[in-house]
Amino acid sequence: MSSEGPLTADAILNCCGAMVSELTKYAHSPDPFKSRHHELIIVKPERFISEATPWLIDVDNQVHLRPDGEGRALIGGFLGKNEETNILKYSYNISSKWCEEVLTAAHSSFDLTPPNTEILQHWGGLYPGTIDYKPVIEQTQTGFYTAAGFSGTGLMHAPAVGMILCDLITKGHTDKIDISKFSLSRFTKLSEVTETTGF
């Protein structure tokens, strides 16, 4: 539906991030999609951080740090918390408690940013994914395609996923990779989660 009235199309691609479930409810498929509240801070520590510093991730403490321009760093992480967020009632509020905890965790893990490091920016948003942290890429119904649930890696994978979906829409299949492992049907028999960090 648009301001000009209903629109019709031969193919519909559902790649709407956190709202993906709102468009797949009618499909009578499992709903594995979930979003988590995610916060990030930009800091400027007294100790210089080179732009050549790699993206650092402590999987155990679930905290990460990477350079963000000259002398600055971006810090984030779930800190072991994994609560699903109701996207229809979602609040973008940021937490000073999380901020203190993530600075402490980053200091403990990487020893580059003391807990009293100057914070330049702090914001929160939705981190959409699935219950196993892997995406859904498939033709969900005739003429209806899904590409969602990338758990923070959608931008990095977008060019390849675009090529795969182009194949699906124009040829009905793809020979780029085997996408069967990215089908919604896997959630009817999911027995274990192999990826636990979501990073």
Q: What is the pLDDT of residue 151?
A: 84
Is 69 within a domain?
A: yes
Inside any domain, residue 194: no
pLDDT of residue 1: 59
Last residue of a domain, one of 130, 150, 168: 130
What is the pLDDT at residue 28?
62
Does one domain contain both 106 and 182? no
**pLDDT value for 152:** 78
* SS3 of residue 2 by DSSP: strand
Query: Whole domain around residue 167: which residue ranges?
Result: 12-22+132-188
Which of 130, 154, 176 represents a domain boundary (last residue)? 130
- Long-range contacts: 190-198, Cβ < 8 Å, 24+? 190/32, 190/131, 190/132, 193/131, 193/132, 193/133, 194/132, 195/132, 195/133, 195/134, 196/133, 197/57, 197/59, 197/62, 197/133, 198/36, 198/78, 198/82, 198/127, 198/129, 198/133, 198/151, 198/152
Question: One-letter amino acid identity for 46?
Answer: E
Last residue of a domain, one of 94, 110, 130: 130
User: Left (φ > 0), alpha (ψ -120 to 50) or beta: where does 33 sit?
Assistant: beta
Please name the residue that has the structure tokens 């020979």.
Answer: 175
CA distance 38 to 78: 7
Tens digit of pLDDT at every position of the chain (199 positions)? 578 888 888 999 998 888 888 877 655 666 888 898 899 999 999 888 999 999 999 999 999 999 998 889 999 999 988 788 888 888 888 999 999 999 999 999 999 999 999 999 999 988 899 988 889 999 988 999 999 999 877 788 899 999 999 999 999 999 999 999 999 888 887 656 666 555 5
* Domain assignment present for 27: no
Mean pLDDT of the chain: 88
pLDDT at 197: 57
pTM for the complete prediction? 0.79
Q: What is the pLDDT of residues 19-60, one digit of tens each?
A: 888 877 655 666 888 898 899 999 999 888 999 999 999 999
DSSP string, 175-186: SSS--GGGSGGG
Strand 12-14 to 144-148 pairing: parallel
Shared-domain flag, residues 126 and 164: no
Q: What pLDDT is attached to residue 98? A: 94
The candidate with the shortest Cα–Cα distance to 37, out of 150, 108, 125, is 125
DSSP alpha helix (H) spans, the chain: 20-24, 96-110, 154-171
Question: What CATH number does residue 57 fall under?
Answer: 3.30.9.10
